[in-house]
């Protein structure tokens, strides 16, 4: 659809000029919830396991266990900030990440990468937008690890000038594709956000084109 060839690199491969993903860590004594037979139960972190996991003690009987990191979470409504919880989830998501290579012209690759990022953000909310670190790493991906590349990623919350429901409609999606061509900017809708990747002026033009398209739709009564 974007005119790119996509290739998965073997597990364990690394992309150039990227920071290493750190493994999630839990502080000993942290009150958490751990998954057991499909249900979440209260537990306390003892420390990291020798393998890829977390050592805990179960709250209901005090027994010890080693559980996978992805089966540990902060309790709902805990005093810990949501930012810390999101940071841990993000580390877990990226722990098994693989490198996907896009082969094609610059604009086609940019559009392809943005669609993949938007799709992963929909499945893993906050993956690219949930923190300052996430946003910085998103910029690195858009620039393919090259600081000289002038492209930037911008995430605009749908609402106000832009109607999220309209953007997801067939007319809205068609307008997004038209704005991509007119503004030389990659666009992709993801949930309640609109991702734009390109030069500063091109991103401004793309948003203006979408506002015109939406206003035209409203004035026509459709």
Q: Are 114 and 6 in contact (CB under 8 A)?
A: no
As a residue count, the chain comes to: 222
Which pLDDT belongs to residue 81? 45
Degrees, nearest 5: CA angle 95-128-184: 130
Q: What is the C-alpha to C-alpha distance for residues 142 and 121, in angstroms, rounded to an integer?
A: 14
- Token output for 160: 């106000």
> pLDDT tens digits for 112-121?
999 999 889 8
The mean of the pLDDT values for the chain is: 82
> pLDDT tens digits for 102-146?
999 888 888 899 999 988 988 888 888 887 778 888 888 888 877
Give the DSSP letter of residue 76: T
Q: What is the C-alpha to C-alpha distance for residues 95 and 26, in angstroms, rounded to an integer?
A: 15
> pLDDT tens digits for 11-70?
888 887 776 555 556 778 888 889 898 888 999 999 776 666 889 999 999 999 998 877
CA nearest to 138, candidates 199, 207, 195, 203:
195
- Token output for 29: 């004594």
**Reported pTM:** 0.64
Q: Give the residue ranges of DSSP H helices in the chain.
A: 82-95, 106-123, 132-142, 164-168, 170-183, 200-220
């Amino acid at each position: 659809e974007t005119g790119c060839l996509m290739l998965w690199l073997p597990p364990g491969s690394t992309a150039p000029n990227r920071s290493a993903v750190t493994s999630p860590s839990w502080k000993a004594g942290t009150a958490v919830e751990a998954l057991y037979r499909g249900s979440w139960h209260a537990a306390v972190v003892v420390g990291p396991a020798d393998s890829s996991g977390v050592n805990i003690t179960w709250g209901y009987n005090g027994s010890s266990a080693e559980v996978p990191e992805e089966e540990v979470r902060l309790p709902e409504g805990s005093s810990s900030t949501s930012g810390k919880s999101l940071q841990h989830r993000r580390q877990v998501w990226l722990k098994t990440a693989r490198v996907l290579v896009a082969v094609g012209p610059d604009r086609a690759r940019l559009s392809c990468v943005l669609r993949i990022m938007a799709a992963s953000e929909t499945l893993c909310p906050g993956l690219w937008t949930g923190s300052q670190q996430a946003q910085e790493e998103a910029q690195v991906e858009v620039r393919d690890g090259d600081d000289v590349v002038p492209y930037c990623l911008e995430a605009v919350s749908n609402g106000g000038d832009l109607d999220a429901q309209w953007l997801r409609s067939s007319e809205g999606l068609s307008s997004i594709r038209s704005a991509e061509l007119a503004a030389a900017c990659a666009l992709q809708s993801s949930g309640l956000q609109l991702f734009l990747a390109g030069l500063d002026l091109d991103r401004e033009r793309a948003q203006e084109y979408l506002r015109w398209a939406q206003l035209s739709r409203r004035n026509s009564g459709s």
